[in-house]
């Protein structure tokens, strides 16, 4: 029991540079308290004492500002950082080593009872502040959700989702969550060495327009040189002038 307790506390110290020691984490971290109380309420829920489980989860919400339905399944070393305003629905499943920041909603979009309405988070998932993950789909191992993103569909393992509705960026992390992957933990789901696909498309358009502008400038210089060249025989000169005039008009358009 104590080994499991210290394992969770130590995992928080690794992921939060503000945590100085175990005593501070145990006494001052409401996210940790919310998970502990949820372990008890989830046990009561599984025993069929559903009213008592809901009452205990309500008490946890009052004390911590974090609402976790007692039916939700939470893995080991889950860290609710800051935690205020987090809402976790009944059929949510959270894998080991996940990090969830303040204001996150793991909610459902269906009103039917007895079905999977809430998301499943794989191992090592980071859900950033204010994000909304809505629906009964899976967020793959090591995936990240950007701040204030609204996720409505599955996220592959190791990928990052940003925007409203969320767009999937190319994965840039190891696909499996192991000791090596933990070295790549990114607070608030910040993704180094990767860019938004929309901004990448805009950059591509800018590069093309600059390239075309350079070619047009080279053509204008070539036309200027041709205009200054010695006179040609009368027939050839008139044809060349006519072609140059047409080309200049096309460039102006």
pLDDT at 176 over 50: no
Whole-number Å distance between alpha carbons of 45 and 234: 100
CATH code for 2-193? 2.160.10.10
Cis bond upstream, residue 136 (ω within 30): no
Q: What is the pLDDT of residue 127?
A: 92
Per DSSP, the three-state class of 141 is: coil
pLDDT at 102 over 60: yes
Q: Output the CA–CA distances (angstroms, integers) from residue 174 to 52, 124, 164, in the order listed.
A: 42, 11, 26
The CA R_g of the chain, rounded to the nearest whole Å, is: 29
Cβ neighbours for 75, distance < 8 A, ≥ 6 positions apart? 94, 95, 96, 97, 98, 123
Residue 222 burial (CB count, 10 A): 11
Cβ neighbours for 135, distance < 8 A, ≥ 6 positions apart? 108, 109, 110, 117, 118, 119, 151, 152, 153
Residue 43 pLDDT grade (very low, low, confident, very high; cuts 50, 70, 90): very high
What percent of the chain has pLDDT above 90?
31
Whole-number Å distance between alpha carbons of 100 and 75: 13
Q: What is the pLDDT of residue 181?
A: 42
Cβ neighbours for 207, distance < 8 A, ≥ 6 positions apart? none
pLDDT at 229 over 80: no
Q: What is the pTM of this model?
A: 0.67
Whole-number Å distance between alpha carbons of 68 and 61: 8
Whole-number Å distance between alpha carbons of 105 and 88: 6
122-144 confidence digits (pLDDT tens): 998 999 988 999 988 899 898 89
Residue 35 pLDDT grade (very low, low, confident, very high; cuts 50, 70, 90): very high
Q: Is 68:74 a contact under the CB 8 Å cutoff?
A: yes
Whole-number Å distance between alpha carbons of 62 and 80: 16
Backbone angles phi, psi at 53, to 5 degrees: -65, -45
| Region 72-81 average pLDDT | 91
Q: Please report which residue ranges of 144-233 form alpha helices under DSSP H.
A: 179-182, 197-227
Domain boundaries, the chain: 2-193, 200-252
pLDDT at 117 over 80: yes
């Amino acid at each position: 029991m104590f080994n499991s307790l210290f394992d969770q506390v130590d995992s928080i110290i690794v992921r939060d540079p503000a945590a100085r020691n175990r005593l501070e984490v145990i006494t001052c971290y409401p996210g940790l308290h919310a998970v502990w109380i949820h372990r008890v309420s989830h046990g009561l829920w599984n025993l069929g004492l559903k009213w008592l489980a809901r009452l205990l989860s309500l008490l946890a919400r009052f004390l911590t500002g974090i609402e976790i339905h007692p039916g939700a399944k939470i893995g080991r070393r889950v860290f609710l950082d800051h935690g205020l305003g987090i809402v976790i629905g009944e059929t949510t499943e959270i894998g080991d080593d996940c990090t969830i920041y303040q204001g996150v909603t793991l909610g459902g979009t269906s009103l039917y009872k007895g079905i999977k309405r809430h998301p499943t988070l794989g191992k090592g998932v980071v859900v950033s502040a204010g994000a909304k993950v809505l629906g009964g789909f899976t967020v793959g191992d090591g995936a990240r959700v950007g701040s204030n993103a609204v996720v409505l569909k599955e996220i592959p393992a190791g990928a990052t989702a940003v925007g409203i509705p969320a767009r999937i960026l190319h994965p840039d992390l190891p696909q499996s969550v192991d000791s090596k992957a933990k070295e790549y933990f990114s607070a608030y789901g910040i993704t180094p060495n990767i860019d938004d696909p929309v901004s990448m498309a805009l950059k591509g358009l800018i590069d093309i327009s600059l390239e075309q502008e350079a070619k047009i400038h080279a053509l204008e210089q070539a036309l200027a040189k041709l205009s200054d060249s010695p006179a040609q025989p009368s027939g050839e000169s008139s044809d060349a002038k006519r072609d140059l005039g047409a080309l200049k008009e096309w460039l102006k358009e």
